Amino acid sequence: MKKKRKRSQKSRYKHESTGDYCTCAAYVAEIMCKRNAERKNKGSLPYKFWNKKPWDWTFKKQMFAANKILKDHKISEEALVKAIHSDEFKSIFSLNHPKAIGIIRKYQLLLNDQTEKCQEIDVKKNASHQKKKYGRRNLFDTLRKFENGEENEEDRGRKKR
């Protein structure tokens, strides 16, 4: 018996049928085969169906199509998976369908817009800001500061004028 595939940068997804880690293309191909089986009323897919007929060739075709989409069309894995799980893709049973690329591109554009909208906030580590003080300072506050040797920036500004 072979060892289960470990999670890695390439193998981030889990097969729904076995629970093993797999690539994005294999994950998407499995979902498309599962949809196809449900449409044809073939029942649930057998364990490791990609090794058994008639699903072996269907799985390979879907996997080839998924890899082609990821490489040639410059689509991210995240966009492909989101598109596959969307309501628009429910009536599509193959990645080679003419509408499939359009829907996947739409989700890629949505992801690109989301990443562009994220703001980066620069935080200064040694930032010093003066707290705005409301109301007038009384004589006792100014005397206390002179006794402690503190001099406020506002006091310096008054002396220079």
Residues with Cβ within 8 Å of 7's Cβ and at least 6 positions away in sequence, in order, are 21
The model carries a pTM of 0.62
Measure the CA–CA gap between 150 and 161, rounded to whole angstroms: 20
Structure tokens at 41: 């009323």
Q: What is the pLDDT of residue 117?
A: 73
Structure tokens at 19: 């629970």
Measure the CA–CA gap between 58 and 134, rounded to whole angstroms: 74
Outline where the chain has alpha helix (H).
24-39, 55-72, 77-84, 98-117, 139-148, 153-160
Q: For residue 25, how many C-alpha atoms fall within 13 Å in the half-sphere facing its CB?
A: 15
pLDDT confidence band for 3 (50 / 70 / 90): low
Q: Does 159 score more than 60 pLDDT?
A: no
The pLDDT tens digits of the residues spanning 7-21 come to 766 777 877 777 788
Q: For residue 78, how many C-alpha atoms fall within 13 Å in the half-sphere facing its CB?
A: 7
Q: What is the pLDDT of residue 154?
A: 56
4 contacts 21 by C-beta, under 8 angstroms: yes
Q: What is the pLDDT of residue 60?
A: 85
Residues with Cβ within 8 Å of 44's Cβ and at least 6 positions away in sequence, in order, are 37
- 3-state SS assignment for residue 135: coil
The pLDDT tens digits of the residues spanning 96-145 come to 888 988 998 999 899 888 877 766 767 777 666 666 666 667 777 788 77
The pLDDT tens digits of the residues spanning 59-80 come to 888 889 988 988 887 788 888 8
65 contacts 110 by C-beta, under 8 angstroms: no
Does residue 49 or residue 156 have the better pLDDT? 49
